[in-house]
Chain A
Amino acid sequence: MSVVTNPVTMPATHPEAGKEDNYLTHSSGFLSWALTLDHKRIGMMYLVGVMSAFALGGVLALMIRLHLWTPNLEANQAWLLNKTYNQVFTLHGAVMVFLFIIPSIPAALGNFLLPIMLGTKDVAFPRLNLGSFYLWIAGAIFFLFSLFATGLDTGWTFYTPYSIESQGPVIAATLGVFILGFSSIFTGLNFIVTINTMRPPGMTWFRMPLFLWAVYSTSIIQVLATPVLGITMLLLAAEKLLGIGIFDSRLNGDPIAFQHFFWFYSHPAVYIMILPAMGIISELMSVHSHKGIFGYRMIAYSSVAIALFGFLVWGHHMFTSGMADVTTIVFSALTFTVSIPSAIKVFNWIGTMYQGTVSLNTPMVYALAFIFLFTIGGLTGLFLGALSTDMHLHATYFVIAHFHYVMMGGTLIAFLGGLFHWWPKMTGKMFNDFGGILSASIIFVGFNLTFLPQFVLGTRGMPRRYASYKPEFQLLHQLSTIGALMLGVGLLVALLVLLHSLFYGSKAPKNPWGGATLEWECSSPPPHDNFSSAPTVGDPYDFSKIEFDPKTGSYFKKK
């Protein structure tokens, strides 16, 4: 408790002569971070948090892959007991979904960038913002508790009735999800209010960068869908604690109802994960092609369209569950409608490169990798949306491969691309571009090696969540494991490149890439108040006035 006894270092300005004043040097001490209301510091704390969660989830993923190196037909000779394996894949899924992907882009990058890109000083409710971070911490602690109690084995979906009779600490985990849900709602609410009420003069809706359109659409989903998850988790906890029959068939409850409730949140949650990633890619493609985005309005509208359609397709997780045939068919049809806006976005990104000036640097390489992987992820969704093929592919490795292409090949790659893109702005340091491209290349190859074989495993009938498998699947599993190790190395390289830049990187200029959005008009890193005077808002994708200045190594905007 030394923090309390020491003289409290409250946020205070240090206008020392010769020392640059930015949000990092503005005040110092533990409490200046722990109690900060600065959206940039909260964003950075979120960044450290979600990256730690990702590291944990990644180690669990490697455990899964190493266990599956052999078929494990003799369960007592296998590396992990079946029960342990089930706990590992449950935690992998739960940590990755609830602690990493959902908060990753909105809470870390979104918090940092949204006010700056919008041209404001902070979000609308800075205290709510800090509160959301501490709720995230509290939710994470509940999760880690269930990790150390080593019992949660229900899968991240908590399907009833297994989750009701399971011995694992389901209640701790569901409360963790409940708290994390509130963290997510607070962030979403904050962003919606900020964008609706705090746009500076000149920042009309259609002058907003596409990243903000994406984050805005995401926030709508967060605010509307997350309460349903909260309710579901409370009902589950109540059923488990009090024995009320809601989802348990032995108490006259209905397990299918749980699946409907769960996916009513968790399918829109897929769009909470992918929409901000699409927003990042829109920024990256245009800035690094030095060219206005193709079809700005179509991309903006398609974000909103995806957010709305995303609410209507949850049933496609339940095609084999025995829903009524008509319901099943309607959900299949709706599922196909959501594929169109996503396809349009891909075409627009490619169209943006046409006749541009493409700089092939680290963020751009990540963006191109995203388009490659996300396209595979999207196209393989067609096999699962079509009813007759889904009957065969449902709950197999085909599904695993499909959603990893979308979630990891999509969201994670975009997150990394965005991280490299805005890293100079966030930290004030330039990273080694060769190292960055190297990391992207290893990740790209490792990723495909991990998940392409899983499509074939799926079509050949390998069910998911299996601790052991038929020997004929071994070769494909081993390829996948080698790929996973490679993926781990690539991610480690990316981390090292970023850490290296913190200590040895050269000072980042104001606008290293030639972006036209507002965040490139404040210094790197930005000052505490973001802008000394209200910025002039122009077209976020007008690159005609952006010129490179070889003396400073920075782009600047011609008057």
Chain B
Amino acid sequence: MIPTFLADINDTFWFPKQASTFAHDVDWLYNAIVYISVAFFVPIVAAMIYFTVKYRERPGYKGSFEALHNTTIEVLWSVIPTFIAGWIFWQGLLGYLDMQSPPPAGTEDIKVIAKKWSWNFKYPNGAESPELHVPVGRPSKMIMRSEDVNHGFYVPSFRVKRDIIPGRFHYSWFTPTLEGTYDLFCSEYCGDNHSTMNTKVFVESEEAYAKFLAEAIKEPEDIVERGKWLYERKGCKTCHYAGKEGSAAGPGPSYNGSWGKPVPLVKGADASGKETLFDEEYVLNSIMDPDRQRRKGYEGAGNMQSYKGQLKIEQVEALAAFIKSLESETPPAKK
């Protein structure tokens, strides 16, 4: 039942794949501490069980009453653990300094924007994507900031984690060593859909990475396609359901079947009246100034942030065209 016993049987019992240069050191120290722990735990429990049986209360047996005190043994069991703890601290420190020291030259600098509940990655050539693409064998540096609350950048396969606190920049770097697809989780609690704020990391060869960058910068020609493309990349998908995609449980309203219909508004939020028409103007207002025309029933819906400065008017137009194309779709089934 004690997983520590299994440590040397199968390394993958504990960890996801080692996919960065840090992973090996972290796992090595982890395993070392597992062995140290077993070396303490087993004798402690063995002594406990042995003493319980050997000195059990039984007819004809009377143990000693004397309180024991043995300076030698007390010094030993204070000093030895102190040295071992010191060693563990030192090894953890060395591993940490490796992670914190500036990365080698030639990093791929990627800007990371975390917001409830999506990731946005911006590459040196200006391309953006909701998943992270990084080249294999070359250090990548994450320049991270949050638009709203605390988030956390966590890639288990890289053994890398860093909180992203709003109001400051946070950095993280790593050198992926193994091509493949890995999980990226938000590790700092950020509200309703915290558990869905995860995405993938694609570690690719330099050629595949270059090809991705070239593709990613091209917006689709067709306006509806472009709207869908933006919907997937700008984080709309995490809260809004559209077609057969996105978050069926909200917190935002579904795009399906809403175009051209009247939208009931929260009292007092907009001076113009109780409802408005779902048109380009409404889409623009909802994106740039979400508090102005709050839809009834979504008063507290996760505080959508304004996209001012992040979307051009042409892009909003494309999003509106995309929503319009979903006129005949049905909203998601509630349970």
Residue numbers of A with Cβ under 8 A of B are 74-77, 81-83, 86, 153, 155, 159, 161-162, 165-167, 249-250, 252, 254-256, 289-296, 298, 320-322, 325, 328-329, 332-333, 336-337, 339-340, 343-344, 346-347, 350-360, 368, 371-372, 375-376, 379-380, 382-383, 385-392, 394-396, 448, 452, 455-456, 459-461, 463-470, 541-544
Known: A368-B52, A388-B99, A391-B160. A379 touches B248 (CB 8 A): no
Contact with A along B1-35 (1 / 0, CB 8 A): 11100000000011110000010011001100100
Q: Is the CB of B16 within 8 A of A461?
A: yes
Known: A162-B150, A354-B51, A466-B194. A394 touches B161 (CB 8 A): yes
Would you list the 8 A-B pairs with minimal beta carbon distance, nearest first?
Answer: A292-B67, A388-B95, A461-B156, A249-B167, A386-B92, A387-B96, A75-B249, A466-B195
Known: A368-B52, A386-B91, A388-B25. A467 touches B195 (CB 8 A): yes
B272 CB-CB contact with A under 8 Å: no
Q: How many A-B residue pairs have CB under 8 A?
A: 287
Binds A, one of B54-62, B257-265, B274-282: B54-62
Min Cβ gap A210→B in Å is 12
Q: Is the CB of B195 within 8 A of A469?
A: yes
The residue that A541 contacts in the complex, of B14, B67, B157, B168, with Cβ under 8 A, is: B67
Known: A249-B167, A368-B52. A293 touches B67 (CB 8 A): yes
Known: A395-B152, A395-B161, A463-B187. A329 touches B96 (CB 8 A): yes
Q: Is the CB of A387 within 8 A of B62?
A: no
Within 8 A of A (CB), among B243-301: 247-249, 251, 300
Known: A322-B162, A325-B100. A76 touches B248 (CB 8 A): yes
The 8 listed contacts between A and B (C-beta, < 8 Å) are A77-B335, A81-B249, A161-B148, A255-B150, A296-B67, A387-B96, A389-B95, A394-B161
Known: A82-B193, A165-B149. A395 touches B248 (CB 8 A): no
Q: Which residues of B contact A256 (CB under 8 A)?
A: 165
Known: A86-B194, A322-B163, A325-B100. A336 touches B86 (CB 8 A): yes
Closest to A163 in B: B149
The residue that B30 contacts in the complex, of A153, A254, A448, A459, with Cβ under 8 A, is: A459
Given the complex of chains A and B, what is the CA–CA distance between A278 and B64 in angstroms?
24
The residue that A459 contacts in the complex, of B15, B78, B183, with Cβ under 8 A, is: B15
Known: A291-B66, A543-B65. A322 touches B14 (CB 8 A): no
Q: Is the CB of A358 within 8 A of B51?
A: yes
Q: Which residues of B contact A368 (CB under 8 A)?
A: 48, 52
Min Cβ gap B300→A in Å is 5
Given the complex of chains A and B, what is the CA–CA distance between A467 and B156 in angstroms?
18
Given the complex of chains A and B, what is the CA–CA distance between A255 and B150 in angstroms?
8
Q: Is the CB of B48 within 8 A of A379?
A: no
Q: Is the CB of A382 within 8 A of B65?
A: no
Within 8 A of A (CB), among B91-135: 91-100
Min Cβ gap B123→A in Å is 23
Q: Which residues of B contact A333 (CB under 8 A)?
A: 89
Q: Which residues of B contact A382 (CB under 8 A)?
A: 33, 36-37, 85, 88
Within 8 A of A (CB), among B293-311: 300, 303
B242 CB-CB contact with A under 8 Å: no
B220 CB-CB contact with A under 8 Å: no
Q: Is the CB of A161 within 8 A of B166?
A: yes
Q: Is the CB of A320 within 8 A of B162?
A: yes
The residue that B191 contacts in the complex, of A166, A347, A355, with Cβ under 8 A, is: A166
Q: Is the CB of A461 within 8 A of B33?
A: no
The residue that B92 contacts in the complex, of A153, A161, A388, A459, with Cβ under 8 A, is: A388
Known: A322-B163, A340-B85, A375-B40. A350 touches B56 (CB 8 A): no
Min Cβ gap B196→A in Å is 7
Closest to B162 in A: A320
Given the complex of chains A and B, what is the CA–CA distance between A162 and B192 in angstroms?
11
Q: Which residues of B contact A390 (CB under 8 A)?
A: 92
The residue that B188 contacts in the complex, of A75, A252, A298, A395, with Cβ under 8 A, is: A395
Given the complex of chains A and B, what is the CA–CA distance between A342 and B33 in angstroms?
17
Q: Which residues of A contact B45 (CB under 8 A)?
A: 372, 375
